[in-house]
Amino acid sequence: MANNADSQNDEVCIEVSGLWKIFGPSAEQILSSEIRTATRDEIQEQTGCVVAVRDASFSVKQGELFVIMGLSGSGKSTLIRCMLRLIEPTAGKIIINGEDICGYDDKQLMAFRRKTVSMIFQHFGLFPHRSVIDNVAYGLKVRGATEEERYTRAQEVIEKVGLKGWEDYYPDALSGGMQQRVGIARALTNNPEILLMDEPFSGLDPLIRRQMQDELIDLQEELQKTILFVTHDLDEALKLGSFIAIMKDGEIIQTGIPEEVVISPAGDYVREFVQDASPAKVITAGSIMTEPEVIIYDWQGPKVALHLLKTSKSDHGFLVTRGRNFLGLVTEKSLAELIKNKGQSTRQALEPDIATCTNDMLLEGLFAMAVATKYPIPVIDDSGKLIGEIDNETILSSMVQYKETEAKEQETGKKETTTEETQSNV
């Protein structure tokens, strides 16, 4: 999961307020009448109009990967196209960097599309008669960049997305995953502040899809773009999103970090959506950690440290500095041995190779650590300060559910593969 909250700042880049998109001749009349509160089906039956987006409001922070998720017909693709005004909103505001783009004239809108935002579609939209590098450089050509400038920049981005050596090939010589890399490279060449991605990986085979998700996570870690990512796939949303909005019938019915969506679903619709999601894929160490049972400061000698352990009836404790920076773990046995050998510094009793985790590490990443030690896992922040511990029983009990979910996913994948092979042989 691409939870990059620590790398984001608090500056809001995108703010959508009261956004509506109604298809049909009486759209404005619907908004000014009481029927606007009716269901989508009722409005369509009475007026012939289709409510694609209903009163959507949300904000996206700079550098955030914001996922809009929903089933087919939920309005997610219409919503993201409104963000670029490929579809004109019926009402509402789309404020980007403090300006409402719904009020832009054609000239402003063209500049906005060329410089501020780029869009990546599910169907790659590559020019079949242009080579990879020409496809990637196309946006800069439209902007009027010199030939040297656009090819230099295109080459840089091609290497960044792993396509070095394929510059002179044409799209029909590339696999689906490689073609999507070209699409991503073309979007990145203009160095946009915002990326809009409309189900970009949904047409790819499962293995290639996972690889593309991993590559997007790596790219986002490096580039820190503001990304709106549309998907109908829950696992993809949980893996990529630092924040998720779930849509139904054109309406956003829940927003939150992945963990909130899985643990506290808003209503039956979301509950059904997330019922098969493994908590191990979204629960973070920070949400299940507790205060360390025993903390020993390095200025306290071995005898004091041993006394603290015996008083607390614990066989171990975490050793820290005065600023609570984590040093390691000491045990009753190691301290007793140190005292026996007349050692003076408690640091001499540290157990070797004590693994730590950060508060944003996912539960599934803690499984191997839990198996490798009998002690709680210390949780530290980015500065190395001890902020908590996680009991192994919490982790190991979650492993059972995770393995059951993983086995179910693998069985589903086998069925899909068998179906694809059967169809290809018909």
Confidence of residue 40 (pLDDT cuts 50, 70, 90): very high
Amino acid of residue 414: K
Give the count of beta carbons closer than 10 Å to the beta carbon of residue 50. 17
Long-range CB contacts for residues 347-354, cutoff 8 Å, separation at least 24: 347/298, 347/319, 348/302, 349/302, 349/305, 350/319, 354/328, 354/329, 354/378
Q: What are phi and psi of 278, to 5 degrees?
A: -80, 125
Tokens 């360390």 belong to 292
Give me the mean pLDDT over the 354-378 stretch: 89
Which range is least confidently modeled, 79-83, 172-176, 184-188, 276-280? Answer: 276-280
What SS3 state is found at 389?
strand
Query: Residues 309, 317: contact at Cβ < 8 Å?
Result: yes
Q: What residue spans define the domains of the chain?
A: 5-116+192-277, 287-395
The number of angstroms, rounded, from the C-alpha of 388 to the middle of its chain's C-alpha atoms is 25
Long-range CB contacts for residues 253-262, cutoff 8 Å, separation at least 24: 255/58, 257/3, 257/5, 258/1, 258/3, 258/282, 259/283, 259/284, 259/287, 262/238
Distance CA 260, CA 233 (A): 17
DSSP 354: -
CATH class of the domain comprising 5-116+192-277: alpha beta
Write down the pLDDT at residue 122: 77
Provide the pairing of β-strand 50-61 with 12-23: antiparallel
Q: What is the pTM of this model?
A: 0.74
Confidence of residue 406 (pLDDT cuts 50, 70, 90): low
Helices (H), 1-146: 27-31, 40-47, 76-83, 106-115, 132-142
Which range is least confidently modeled, 237-246, 266-275, 405-414? Answer: 405-414
CA distances from 183 to 17, 189, 262, 420 (A): 30, 10, 32, 26
Give me the mean pLDDT over the 255-263 stretch: 88
User: What single string gives the DSSP state of each residue in 190-239?
Assistant: T--SEEEEESTTTTS-HHHHHHHHHHHHHHHHHH--EEEEEES-HHHHHH
Give me the mean pLDDT over the 288-302 stretch: 92
CA distances from 308 to 56, 300, 366 (A): 56, 10, 28
The number of angstroms, rounded, from the C-alpha of 139 to the middle of its chain's C-alpha atoms is 27
Provide the pairing of β-strand 316-320 with 295-297: parallel
| CATH architecture of the domain covering 287-395 | Roll (3.10)
Higher pLDDT, 62 or 206: 62
172-198 pLDDT, tens digit each: 999 888 898 898 999 898 889 999 999
Give me the mean pLDDT over the 296-314 stretch: 93
Q: Is 58 left (phi over 0), alpha (psi -120 to 50) or beta?
A: beta
Burial class (CB in 10 A: 0-12, 13-18, 19+), 297: middle
313-337 pLDDT, tens digit each: 999 999 999 889 999 999 999 999 9
- Among 62, 61, 144, which Cα is nearest to 110's? 144
Taken in order 106, 111, 113, 117, the sign of the CA dihedral is negative
